[in-house]
Structure formats: structure tokens, C-alpha cells
Structure 1
Amino acid sequence: MAPSWLVVLSWCALALAGVSTLVIVADIYARGYSQRMRVMEAVWPVTGLYLGPVAVWMYWRYGRPQSNKWLEEHGLDAPPDKPKWATTAIGVSHCGAGCTLGDIIAEFAVFALALQLFGRALLPEYIGDYIAALALGILFQYFAIAPMRGLGVRKGLAAAAKADVLSLTAFEVGLFGWMALMAFVFFGSHPLHPDSPVYWFLMQIGMVIGFATAWPANVWLIRRGIKEAM
């Protein structure tokens, strides 16, 4: 069993992430700061689920200025330029949103179905996470690339896959490595499950690690023009 201090810390971290997501959702949908790239209206709130207040700051600094309402308020025709690191961070968060949603869906599915291989749920989680994350990641990428390049469905999906597979795989490498530590080192004798707040707190940490491992891939993809700078 997880120690009580870790359970309390986990609930606090999850609550902070939930509030962060609600702040972003309220600003986009209730206050009218809709994004010119509409897929980002999903990406920013999902990023809040694991980056918490950092995601709110990033959204306020670099996401909000992408809305027509913000441009009108500041008398501008185009959003201000972003530093390269911010462009990369947004690119990683775009990939991370697909990974995060895919992981949440797959983790609960594996748990509900009690799937195991070799006596553990880890391998089914890996398979389910990757498949769900890849499907959602390509879908998110499609809605970013296709409108910007004026592509049809088939070419848009092909371009999205080309832009997202490497980035998503790099993200999952970091996350999966952390999940292995969770399964074999931290709680090897009493594995955690998705019905525990500690599980999701540790998954938040894993997603931050995935964010870091996906960074170099996104730098390369954006520099080569394979992935759109957002």
C-alpha cells in the first residue's frame, strides 16, 4: 500500500491539475478566447492534466494570443512571435495531448477487463497505450496539418502520421520507462492500479518525463518542416 503522505500529495497534485484544466477551459469556452487552430482548444486543457499551473502559464503567455479576441483587444493583426523553445514546447504538448488521452482510455480499459500477460498488466497497458495514443495523436496532428496545408483526408492523414509517429514514440519511451519503474521498483510487490490517486500522480510524473524525451524529436521534426510550428 502507498504511504498516507503520498496519497495526500497525490490528491493535491490531481486537484491542482484539475483546477488548471478548468481555468483553461473556462478562458477558451466561457470567456471566448477560442483558438484560431481549433485543435488547440483540446490540447491546452489536456496539457493541464499533467503540467498543471505550468500549462496555465504557457497557455496565458503563448496560447491566448492565438485567439482573435486577444488580437482585437491588443489591436494586432497577427499573434506576436514566439521564441523557438515555446514553439517546440507547444509541438510537444500537441503530441502529449494524444498520448495523455490515449493512456487514460487504455489504462482504464485494461484495468476494467483485468488484462494481464506474464502475470502483470504492464504489457497490455503498453500495447493499449501506444495504439490509443497513436490513433488520437494522428487525429490531433491531422487537424493541425491538413487545414494549414490545404490537404485532403488521405494526404492529410499521411502527413499527420509522418509528423506524429516519431514524436509520439519518443514521448512514450519516457513514459513507459517510468511505468516500468512503477511496476518493478517502486511498487513491485503491491502494484498500483488506475483506481488509486497515487497511480495517476505517478503517471503525471511519467508524462512530464515523456514530454522531455519527446523534445529532441520535435526540434528535429519542426526544423525539417515535417511537423508544423504552432
Structure 2
Amino acid sequence: MGVHVMQHEAHTEHVHHDAHHAHHAHHAGHAGGTGWATAAQATLHCLTGCAIGEVLGMVLGTAFGWGNLPTTLLAIALAFFFGYSLTLRGVLRAGVGFRTAFRVALAADTLSIAVMELIDNGVILVWPSARDAMLGDALFWVSLVISLVIAFVVTTPVNKWTIGRGKGHAVVHRYHH
């Protein structure tokens, strides 16, 4: 009888523990919001950093007279830099030390920026003559805007998925409250 009571207590404690985690996950989802609006906001945040980096990279690559590959690599590097910087700025404002804030930015943005850059640059790569368009050409700006819109549409579900699992921008939200 003692073993049965101990097994029942262990089972009850396990069920309570699981319910406790489910309860926190449920509330974390609603507090941080795992809905589409929250995912879209997180994606828009990444899009802002990516767009700044992309445009600055293209401007610098053009000014230096670089070809497509080095200019694209610079634009991607700057997209990551500015994407991380925007998150880093917000987390540092919450009073977190630089090292922790840097880790939070990496955890929050790496997948999102990587997907966004893959899609954005993939669209430009397959768009006839978009890679050769210059900053003064309408094709440059039209293809950039369309590629970023497509990247936003593809990256938003990725961010929804990561936030729903307590990852990605859900990590940042812990420091904003």
C-alpha cells in the first residue's frame, strides 16, 4: 500500500509539474503574444535592420566599385550587424550588461535574419537583371522592395514558430518587461 501511495504522489507531482509548465507556456504565449501580430512585429524589426544593412552595403559596394559578390556579402554582413544592433540597443536599455545583451541579440535574431537574407538575396539572384541594376535605376529599388516583402512574408511564420517555443524574439520580450 505504501508503494502505491508513493507512486500516486509521484504521479500527482509529475502531472502538477507538467501542468505548471503548460500553464507558464500558455501565459508566456499570451503575455509575449505568439500570435501573428507579434510575429509580424518581430519580423518588421528584423526587416528594418536588414533593409538598412542591405541599402548601406549596396551604396558602399557601388562607391568602392566592387562587383556583385563582394557587394552582396557586405550587404549581408551589414544586415546582420544592423539587425543585431537594433535588438542590442533595446536590451541594453533594459539595464542588461553588454555580454548578456549580445547573447540575447544573437539568440533572438540569427534565424530570423538568416531566413530573411536567404529569401531576399535569393529573389534578387533569380530576378533577371536585378543584380546588375544600379542605385539610380528603378529596377534596383523595385526589386529590393519586392524581395524584402517576400522575405517578410516567409520569415513571419518562422518568427511565430520560434516565439511560440520561447525562442527568438520571445527572449527579447523577457527583457522589455
Q: TM-score, normalised by structure 2?
A: 0.71
Stretches of structure 1 that go unaligned for 5 or more consecutive residues are 1-80
- Match for residue 216 of structure 1? 157
Which is greater in Rg?
Answer: 2
C-alpha distance 170-83 of structure 1, shift in aligned 2 (>3 A) = closer
Q: Deviations over 1:14-72 (max 9, x none)?
A: xxxxxxxxxxxxxxxxxxxxxxxxxxxxxxxxxxxxxxxxxxxxxxxxxxxxxxxxxxx
Counterpart position of 1:98: 49
User: Is residue 59–residue 135 contact of structure 2 (8 Å, CA) maintained in 1?
Assistant: yes
Segments of structure 2 that go 5 or more residues without pairing to the other structure are: 1-31
Contact residue 173 and residue 213 of structure 1 kept, 8 A: no
CA distance in 2, matches of 1:83, 1:187: 39
CA distance 1:161–1:82, change in 2 (3 Å)? closer
CA distance in 2, matches of 1:219, 1:82: 9
Partner of 1:134: 80
Provide the alpha-carbon RMSD of the alignment: 2.3
Opposite residue 94 of structure 1, the aligned amino acid is: H
State whether residues 171 and 212 of structure 1, in contact with CA within 8 Å, keep that contact through their aligned partners in structure 2. Answer: no
From 89, 96, 100, the counterpart of 1:151: 96
Residue in structure 1 matched with residue 107 of structure 2 by the alignment: 162
Give the deviation of 1:92 after TM superposition: 0.2
Residue 29 of structure 2 corresponds to: none
Letter in 2 for 1:96: L
Paired residue secondary structure (2:133):
coil
- Tell me how many residue pairs correspond in the alignment: 140
Corresponding residue to 1:201 among 142, 149, 153: 142
Kindly provide the amino acid, as one letter, of the partner of residue 37 in structure 2. A
Structure showing greater relative contact order (alpha-carbon pairs closer than 8 Å, 6 or more residues apart)? 2
| Aligned-partner Cα distance in 2 for 1:215–1:128 | 24
- The match for 1:125 among 71, 77, 81 is 71
1:94-146 per-residue CA deviation (whole Å, 9 max, x = no partner) reads: 00000000001000111111112xxxx1x223211111011111111113334
Correspondences of 1:153-192 after superposition (within 5 Å) = 153-182=98-127, 186-187=128-129, 191-192=132-133
Percent of aligned pairs sharing the same letter: 25
User: Quick one: distance in 2 between partners of 1:107 and 1:154?
Assistant: 30
> Following the alignment from structure 2 to structure 1, what is the Cα–Cα distance between the partners of residues 71 and 154?
19
